[in-house]
Structure 1
């Protein structure tokens, strides 16, 4: 196991401190945003080191930093409706084996922030006067209208988010279909090339067999010719010897 560098130890310490600060109250402590910016720079520097951690560890650090950025950015919103919608879109970082305390802190931050902004929205929506005067009734009607408008805004925001998600999914499906068609075309071309190569191989094999047969026949025919030539040569020599013996006998 590779030991952690000094920079990674500082990253983990500062990350833990930022999470505890966000858990307490991210609006009262102005240092939290400065710490998160410094933490982002440290994580980027950690990625450029030669003995940097694994890819999964770097990804987890980035997710934790992005989660804290989202919490701080949500706190800067002035409209309670936007805060509630934004905190619902915050994704809690997944549980991993790197830190056993952090997942619990991330869940607590998310739950505490959601409860806080939901309470603020509820207080604003149901902040009616106790009196039964005409002004009180008008205030109640205005609060009811504001409640309906805020609910419409939330529904509209969620509907827009769902439409964007649907568009992204359709785009991803289209890209996957295009890649599948491209891969199918490439595979078909490769199969066609293999078929042509197999046919050429069969043709060349047949030609090679035919040439082998011809060569064998040609070799056999040459061998027979040389046999007959040798037989003829032996007969000529034999007749010459007999003739020479007769001539020598007469003399």
Structure 2
């Protein structure tokens, strides 16, 4: 069945939204939120259209729009909350346009998870990148004083102990993070399994009606 004009416009806007989502956006970026709102309206119209796509295609369209909506909501959070929210996002399973080697939403999901993990790591450490740089500089400076024989043995011990404590805290936080991500992955797998069951049932019902 040939795509309707409404579906063609929907696909074009969806592809544009995914492209914007894959870019590094500034806080004043407003287009994505506005475009996703328009996508939702077009998706509702597409469901009511006499020439609407198959159940499988509509399910993937809905999944991609929900992913973009979830992405916008997650961006309003910070640190750990943002990382956990991104774990529950379900990207599209098929390319939106023909020249995609893999679904753009999957690429966006991986980029977002990597960025959120970095932000969460900084939050767990209790420092920003600049403070981290200051800490490293401070350690180097103190070690330099030892080489110049201007720092006492007690001060050196304090620096080494501080560095050791920092490493232990990071290791403990990352272990807790790994446990949380494992639990969230199991939950996400169950959700995907339920989605597959629902899709299978819908396809069977659609075949019975034919």
- Shared fold (TM-score greater than 0.5)? yes
Which structure ranks higher in relative contact order (CA pairs < 8 Å, sequence separation ≥ 6)?
2
Per mean C-alpha deviation after superposition, the further-off stretch among 133-142 and 52-61 is 133-142
Alpha-carbon offset, residue 62 of structure 1: 0.6
Whether the 8 Å contact between 1:27 and 1:75 is mirrored in structure 2 is no
When Rg is computed on C-alpha atoms for both structures, the one with the higher figure is 1
Whether the 8 Å contact between 1:7 and 1:46 is mirrored in structure 2 is yes
Q: Call closer, same or farther: CA 1:163–1:68 in 2, change over 3 Å.
A: closer
Alpha-carbon offset, residue 120 of structure 1: 1.9
Give the equivalent residue in structure 2 for 1:10.
Answer: 9
Q: Where does structure 1 lack aligned partners over 5 or more consecutive residues?
A: 170-251
Whether the 8 Å contact between 2:95 and 2:104 is mirrored in structure 1 is no
Aligned length: 165
Higher helix share: 1
Give the equivalent residue in structure 1 for 2:45.
Answer: 45
**For 2:178 and 2:86, how far apart are their aligned partners in 1?**
12
Q: Call closer, same or farther: CA 1:23–1:97 in 2, change over 3 Å.
A: closer
Give the equivalent residue in structure 2 for 1:89.
Answer: 88
Alpha-carbon offset, residue 42 of structure 1: 0.7
| 1:14-47 deviations in Å (ceiling 9; x for gaps) | 1011000000035542221121121011101111
| 1:161-200 deviations in Å (ceiling 9; x for gaps) | 747978xx9xxxxxxxxxxxxxxxxxxxxxxxxxxxxxxx
SS of structure 1 residue aligned to 2:64: helix
Q: Call closer, same or farther: CA 1:102–1:37 in 2, change over 3 Å.
A: farther
Give the equivalent residue in structure 1 for 2:76.
Answer: 76
Whether the 8 Å contact between 2:93 and 2:103 is mirrored in structure 1 is no
Residue 31 (structure 1) aligned with residue 4 (structure 2): no
| 1:102-136 deviations in Å (ceiling 9; x for gaps) | 83422321221122112222334454424367799
Q: Call closer, same or farther: CA 1:136–1:11 in 2, change over 3 Å.
A: farther
Alpha-carbon offset, residue 145 of structure 1: 4.7
Give the equivalent residue in structure 1 for 2:60.
Answer: 60
Q: Where does structure 2 lack aligned partners over 5 or more consecutive residues?
A: 140-154, 194-210
Per mean C-alpha deviation after superposition, the further-off stretch among 43-52 and 135-144 is 135-144
| 1:197-217 deviations in Å (ceiling 9; x for gaps) | xxxxxxxxxxxxxxxxxxxxx
Alpha-carbon offset, residue 75 of structure 1: 1.3
1:28-177 alignment, distance < 5 Å: 28=27, 29-78=29-78, 80-95=79-94, 99-101=98-100, 103-126=102-125, 127=127, 128=132, 129-130=135-136, 131=138, 145=169, 148=172, 151-152=175-176, 155-156=179-180, 158-159=182-183, 162=186
Per mean C-alpha deviation after superposition, the further-off stretch among 142-151 and 46-55 is 142-151
SS of structure 1 residue aligned to 2:23: helix
Alpha-carbon offset, residue 65 of structure 1: 0.6
**For 1:165 and 1:60, how far apart are their aligned partners in 2?**
17
Q: Call closer, same or farther: CA 1:96–1:164 in 2, change over 3 Å.
A: closer
Residue 22 (structure 1) aligned with residue 21 (structure 2): yes
